[in-house]
Amino acid sequence: MGEPYREQALAWLAQDPDPQTRAELRALLDAGDDDALADRFGSRLEFGTAGLRGALGAGPNRMNRVTVMRAAAGVAHWLGPGRTVVIGYDARHRSADFARDTAAVLTGAGCTALMLPGPLPTPVLVHAVREQGADAGIMVTASHNPPQDNGYKVYIGGTGPHAGSQIAPPVDTEISAAIDTVGPVDELELGTDWTVLDDQVVDHYLDAITDLPLGAERDATVVYTPLHGIGRDTLVKAFEWTGFPPPTVVLEQADPDPDFPTVAFPNPEEPGAMDLVLAAGRRVGADVLLANDPDADRLAVAVPERRRLTGDEVGGLLAEHVLNATSGQDRLVATTIVSAGLLAKIAAAHGVRYAETLTGFKWLIRAGGPGDRGVFAYEEALGYCLGDDNGRPVADKDGISAALAVAGLAAEAKREGRTLCDLADDQARRYGLHATGQVALRVEDRTQITAVMNRLRTEPPRSFGPLAVEVVEDFAAGRNGLPPADALRYRLGGPARARVALRPSGTEPKLKAYLEVVLPVDADIHPVRAAAARHLGDLEHAVKRLFPQD
């Protein structure tokens, strides 16, 4: 049974330039570990709109130098010679190596490769693609995945309205097909004449985002954590450039560390990930607490002694902030099918256009149609993209510019003796309380997720707890003009209006459920929040019963 995999492993050894993965593979071969070989060679990482992402190690089902060089050769083939590509990377294990391999393959294929000057946030790379007039961008990062993972994201360039955005179909399948034509990587021609950009690439990014609507107030005490990622230096400099007091950085998590020693998962959404910044905020009497994920394209927000704000709450606050600072009926705001219904109400109240897309900023950046001018987009997973009347400086989610805008909002609230939580309560009184929550089942075998989704389609639930299913929305064949997606959404009624959306994660082996309860608010919001929490608890219990049980 293991013989075909042994043959593949020997062929891999013959081309692998990396002594680390060669040693790993040789040890597996010498030990006769057929199960480990089957895990590494029985399948491969698939290149999709999120690029590549997976655990480090030898073989086609792992992130390694061979996998990366093949991907780079596929991108080069897809682009053709003479094109320019900007390459960025984070501080994860092997990221710098993968970036250098990418530059070598691209230059060897006749492309011009421009490397960022060091580990920098993804938004800096995204901005540099547009600012350098490049044809594409590549970011080596696994974002908020566990320490053993790494990844590879591709952005399109050019001069169109989506320049600097993540690739979208059919580009992913075109690049994947090009990767399939790549032979052994030791036969690739490698170049050495790529260009390393200087630190001005960061300054140009900061120049662009400091023109965004940040408000006039600056008196906010901020405590910040980069979660061992690469956001610190850029964020601190951004605060300095825009006149905010320097944030207090959580020392235990300040320096880049690919092992992420203080958190179970380096994702600010995960339980416990913000414990250190919450403790630091209480010590210094902060007005607002901010956390980036490791590549700084997401932002989490909390208020000391109050609570964490959800991504939907931050999205609502930033949306109204941007709409109050911009003008024109052609403005468009957008969110995703799993986010709260709050943004649609905000858009209607401001007389602007609203769009709903599939999850991911590759879709959000492309929301709307001719004549629409996108000024704000967000997804509940802590991703925000701000613009102004002159456009969006970064065509992707950006945790640095969002941090500046949130700090400005906190300063405005502080001037009136209030907090961001009070601003969120004001919105709930205007538009109704949109309380949201999530349930996620992490699995080892993705077939469990497929089985659950198939069962839900063949045996649709009639209720979730006490709330009856009134409408079922299945996105498998496309819906409301959206591309097909493996997602279900249920509109519920009864004691409360509610929604439940279900979809497999695109980057991790998880089945995710997104819960929303909508209740009207009179003057006193506290009993309404308590009622919403009870309803969310009922929904969470009902959703967990849909998942495979041990």
Dihedral of alpha carbons 521, 377, 492, 453, sign: negative
Catalytic-labelled residue, pool 95, 143, 165, 339: 143
Element (H, E) at 431: helix 420-431
CA 342 – CA 316 distance, rounded (Å): 7
Pairing of strands 248-249, 222-225: parallel
CA 532 – CA 501 distance, rounded (Å): 17
Instruction: Give the count of alpha carbons within 13 A of 180, CB side only.
Output: 8
Q: Which amino acid is at 90?
A: D
* Contacts with 530 (C-beta within 8 Å, 6 or more apart), sequence order: none
Element (H, E) at 439: strand 433-442
Q: Tell me whether the omega of the peptide bond preceding residue 170 falls within 30 degrees of 0, making it cis.
A: yes
57 closest CA partner among 102, 94, 91? 94
CA 375 – CA 363 distance, rounded (Å): 15
509 closest CA partner among 444, 429, 428, 434? 444
Are residues 154 and 122 in contact, defined by beta-carbon separation less than 8 angstroms? no
As a whole number of Å, the end-to-end CA separation of the chain is 30
Q: Mark whether 401 is an active-site residue.
A: no
Structure tokens at 409: 């909002």
* Contacts with 431 (C-beta within 8 Å, 6 or more apart), sequence order: 316, 342, 345, 346, 349
Element (H, E) at 54: strand 52-55
Dihedral of alpha carbons 366, 372, 375, 377, sign: negative
Q: Could you give the angle at which helices 420-431 and 311-325 cross, rounded to 10 degrees?
A: 80
Q: Which residue has the tokens 């490791």?
A: 294
Across-strand partners of 113?
Answer: 85
Map residue 143 onto helix, strand or coil.
coil
Active site residues: 143
